[in-house]
Amino acid sequence: MFEKFEKFQLVLLAVILALGLVVAVKVGMSGVSKDTIMVTGSAYQVVKSDSGRLEFDINARKPDKQSAYNTVKTQLPIVMKYLNDKGINDIEVKAASGYYSYKYNPNGSMTNEIAYFNLSQIVVIKSDDVQKIKEISTDIQQLLAKGIDIDVRSPEYFYSKLGDLKITLLQDATTDAKDRATAMLKATHNKPGKIQSVRMGVFQITPVDSTNVSDMGINDTTTIDKKVTAVANVVFRIK
């Protein structure tokens, strides 16, 4: 009886080993059949903006609407002369907007009596001379000494050849991906072959010293010098 039991154990052990061998072969074959590698490459270039934009408001606060409009109408030629003297010719005067402010009672409640009318005249200037835009963004405040109330927005700077640069950076990012794949496969005595697919990531346009990234991409307009970064996810066939 013990002899039969021992034979049964041997048969059972043989079956288990056989099943184990089959599983091992399948696992090994699954690794070999995976003959591609996906690598992320990146490239960047620092560029200088070639155009700028500045927006500011000419403000007036007067007892009535007409007085406010008259004040801005009188001050606008002074502002225009200042801009022309600075060499700015691309000037857009947008529609003015305003609102009434009302007087308050001693208890803090607002009355229906008009205190004054607030008027804002928006002016936008553009130039290919970005340094001039930067200079005016701070220098224009000197008009305050002439009684002109001006609120200046932050200047914006743009790079017009961004479309061509993106193509170049995508090529460089793909090359970087291949270099990374080569380094990764070197230990296995393999190397990257033909490209199976390329997926372009979002572009990051940031200040030169910035490390910020965003899934939606960044488009910085606050600095003259910008860093444009491209990312490419590339799938290579292994050979």
Label residue 75 by pLDDT band (50, 70, 90). very high
CA distance 156 to 124: 11
Q: Which two tokens stand for residue 3?
A: 């002899």
CA distance 180 to 192: 10
Give the number of other CB atoms < 10 A from CB of residue 85: 8
- What SS3 class is residue 14? helix
Q: Domain 51-158: what homologous superfamily? A: Protein of unknown function (DUF541), domain 2 (3.30.70.2970)
User: Residue 57 carries which DSSP code?
Assistant: E
Q: Which residues pair with 13 in a beta bridge?
A: none
Q: What is the pLDDT of residues 82-126, one digit of tens each?
A: 999 999 999 999 999 999 999 999 999 999 999 999 999 999 999
Q: Please check whether residue 184 is in contact with residue 39, taking contact to mean a CB–CB distance below 8 angstroms.
A: yes
CATH code, residues 33-48+161-238 = 3.30.110.170
SS (H, E, C) 157-195: EECCCHHHHHHHHHHHHHHHHHHHHHHHHHHHCCCEEEE
Sequence ranges of the domains in the chain: 33-48+161-238, 51-158
CA distance 130 to 158: 9
Q: What is the pLDDT of residues 48-69, one digit of tens each?
A: 999 999 999 999 999 999 999 9
Q: Which two tokens stand for residue 142?
A: 């000197």
Average pLDDT over every residue of 179-200: 93
CA distance 114 to 101: 6
